[in-house]
Structure 1
Amino acid sequence: MRRWLLGLLGLVWGVLAWAQPAAPESAAASLAQGTELVSYCVDPDWPPFEQIDEAGRHVGIAAELLKLVMQRSGQALQLVPTKNWGESLAASQTGRCQVLSFLNQSPKRDAWLVFTDPVLVDDNVLITREEHPFVADLASVEGEVLALPKGTSVEEWLRRDFPKLRLMLVDSEEQAFEAVNRRQADMTMRSLIVAASTLKREGWFNLKIAGQVPGYGNQLRIGVAKDQTALRDRLNIGVASLTAGERRQIVDKYLSIHVTTAVDTRPLAWLAAVLVAVLLTSSYWIWRLRRLNAKLHHLSRSDALTGLYNRTGFNEAMNHELARAKRSGHALSVILLDIDFFKRINDQLGHDVGDAVLRDLATQLRTVVRHVDILVRWGGEEFLVICPATQLQQAVVLAERVLEAVRTHPFGIPWPLTISAGLASLQPGQSADTLFAQADAALLQAKQLGRDRLVVFDPKEISPWP
């Protein structure tokens, strides 16, 4: 059992070690003096992230991280007590509290909140009973029951991306795990840190981590009332000052395992000290090398202007998704997008404005597409969306949603911006080159038909080759 727990905690540390944003060395040195009282609401029952204890205090990982952020951004906190997460959300919407402490950003929450940069990054994982098979794709288990606490961003994402999945809403994290344990639900999707803590605390070792959905990680932020962007900007200074070491130390405080032994270790103290020094030195250089390699790998796969995948990243992602689609028999669709009359923007308004439009469009695409979709800047004014496990009709709905979002978004130029789209869906035996050529042919026809429209590739009407 100890080996199982240590392995699970090792997975937690693997996530935390490489996922946290780097902090500037002297962020705190530039903070203005003085404090401002900020009212805030929390989830009163979300251990180990946060809860309100019997004395009415906000405690947990989020509480300690939030305290550091507030201290370093010149703020003081005033807790607004609530009975549950739903009441906290309602209090935030009605203005009873200026800040929500620890939550994911989502389209619904964007209606009344602005968000800081991530305070902590943590994966969501699928938890099932021991006998349940590994879950490679949620689309393959859409008839099963997934338990979730009410009011979470995960619920919002799942209802959008997997509408056939049966959701069972409960009042707390513990009830979600209990529903799986009692066979009232087939699985739950929760934070890796919460899973490690809950399974250890409750002793539910008949439950296991059975999978992970790409793009469904937690980027836990501070939510601020939408009319208080200046407060959000000050809090971001405190968030930027947090180091990976501070995050690890706080998480370790709530996830550490204590093992008692009868062995007298005093004769080995000198040897242990030497080994610890060697391990710490080696670990530091290994960590630094891995971090540099990870950064280089990321830069080699990312477009410098938009932060989306470049063609190298596309090749890796496409090969992976194509192999998965052929192995599992699931659908795969691609949408190729092109900004209409983009040359006019560069010629009349300048390349700086053109670059700003490209960055803004990339941001809008991130908001509109699903968490499972993969965004690529194909080159110039062309973008591409890889849609895993997506039938043709589902991809049509997504593409039309993208076109409408672009039509209605103000891009800061004197005329409306539109895009054209070509869509193709993988057929048996097809290669990635053929699939892309079909999407490209459909895009060309969309341009020829007048732009600002979607064309779906039809082999009877469109030739994919010049």
Structure 2
Amino acid sequence: MRLQRLTDSDTNPLRNMARALFLVIFLFSISTVSHNAAAREENDSHRDTVRGFSYDYTPEELAFIRTNPEIKISNEFDWPPFDFVADGKPAGFGIELMDLLAEKSGLTFTYINGYTWDELTRMFFDGELDVLHSLSITPERQKKALFSAPYYHSKHVLIHRSDTQDLHTLDDLDGKIIAMPRGWSTIEFFEVHYPQVHIIEVESSRQALEYVDQGKVAATVEQEGIAQYLITKFGFTDLTLSKWLENEELQKTSSMHFAVLKTNPILFSILDKALSNITLAEMRDLKEKWFSRAGRRIGADDVGLTPEERGWLTGKKLLTYCAPVERMPYSALNGAQPTGISADLMEIFSEHLDVKMVPVPVDSFSESIALVENGTCDLIPMVSKTRERQRYLDFTTAHSGYNVALIAREDTPFIQGISGLTGLRTGIVPHTNVFEKVISHFPKLNYRTVDTVEDCLEQVSTGRLDVAILSLPVASYYIRKKGMTNLKVAGHTNIEEDLRLAVLKGNTTLHSILSKAVRSVSLQEMEAIENKWVTLQEEPPVNYTLIWQIGGGSAAILVLVMLWNRKLARLNREIARANRKLKDNTKELEHISITDSLTSLYNRRYVEKAFELELRRTVRHRHDLAVLLIDIDFFKAINDTFGHQVGDGVLRTFANLLKTSIRTTDVLGRWGGEEFIIVCPEINIDNAVHMAKGLCRKVEQTPFDTAGTQTASFGVTAYKKGDDIHSMISRADNALYQAKTNGRNRVESVV
């Protein structure tokens, strides 16, 4: 009956319309609520990925995050502890701050490294990078970029050598030369406020400190924490820091910010909101990690390869480079063995990159290009960058730079550059880097072309030419090779032959790897190479100001000069003889300082230095290295029985026996008393023991005059990972003790 009543009532048309309307409204409400809930769920799902999300993004910002999967962030090569590369990965305070911003914003960051600060800055303003971090604000930068609030501030200090006592304030730099990394805002500060300070721009903070350490500049200016970090990491023990530089304008450059181009305001707004959401505790933890005493030691001395680059190298197994057969002192082949500046550089790069470098002989630059293009060679090691070559090659920054010099006979006065060549017969070798640079700078130069460097120098030496224009290393090498002692550097051209590594254009991975390798080479390593290959007497420039000052009274003085001329000539000859004698005496003193007077072998002091050098080579090249400690058995009995004069004779005979029985590459010395030492490069423990046994037999078979037959005990060890000279000597000494304990006249080894 109830059902029937309801059915009857449904026949009322007004009620039916009301019910239908109510149903429509109800369904629409449910749909709206569901849609809004879904939207909230979508937003919340994004916010759930952002820890501590306590601020609201606009719809435009949310859309930006969804549609921009990768944000490119700068990563400098070596500016610790702010921004550097360690073990192939971005590291530092600035990097971890960026990571925190990525976490809080939901953005994904990709770090772009392998570049200097100056290069990264240019890339940022060219739009190749989205964010540049850990930089200060300057008016010039503010024209193009938006800057965050400061997130770190550190006082600037002067860094100078410890033996420099007069550098405490910025005013003390008046008239002095300092080094600063290229592109730094501090350079602008000095140009405006201290224009009398001369600045040399270098690639990095580390290189600036190297310049100071080497005495090339008086000082550099750096933030205190960074200076402390670099001094500790790279062992600049001769450097010291001043007190804080209390200059308001300078300290403005100490505040660190991140920057985004003004053309990308949405990204800046997102990151600015994320920065404001970093808690005090999070910022405190970051600063504690990177700016505490322990934090300054984070980061290995690493070339800075990414995992992908390291994997690429591992897959390659070796790198091949073009090695000109005859282009000394840059490159030559001695049989199959490369030599020259290029070979020494490749040795350093091989060590830094931990990859084998294999030379491929070439006869010309055009052949090098062909071999790089067909993949036979991976790189060309020493080449100048030109506009033409940039069409098919990519270049690293310069690893070497050599002056183009004016070479003349030793009686030639100082030549004031190219302008001083007027009226002089000038020779130059065509089809070379030097020729291209000189002619492009001085197209009106009057010169003669000479086919080879040797012929060019020969013509200057014999008077057929007055001057040769050559790269300093090339001139130095051939002058020494040919014994042209009447030649010297008579002037410079103000042209530099900058030499770089080059790879085939488009090989971006190898180019990045080699660029990092070039920047990892220290000044000490480069100067060692230059000292080895580039040495030549130079003519000092004439002080024309002084000449004019003296000129007024020259007439009267000239008479006196003529009267004294003969006497001065005689005195000069006497001085020359004295100088030659002094030089001979100096050589004799040097010999005495490294030689044992009784046996004429190297003394302990020299052996220790040579041992240290061989150990470094062993570590660098992963070669073998062994050491033998030798003791004459019962030597005290010889002195007691026959006297010290006979004992001394035994020592001399024993020393000569060893000297004539070892390789020329071995280092033999008297270690003390009747004990001797032999340092044996590139020999393993088995071969070292075999060598020692042969010497042991030879000693036993050798007559020692009055003292008769003698024997000796030998202790042998070889290098193992982590050794220093003290650990190796200690093991060899233990082995020697075992040989004596086990009956003498025998060889024992400990590894």
Q: What is the TM-score when the length of structure 1 is the normalising length?
A: 0.46
Q: Which has the higher contact order (CA 8 A, sep 6+)?
A: 1
Larger radius of gyration: 2
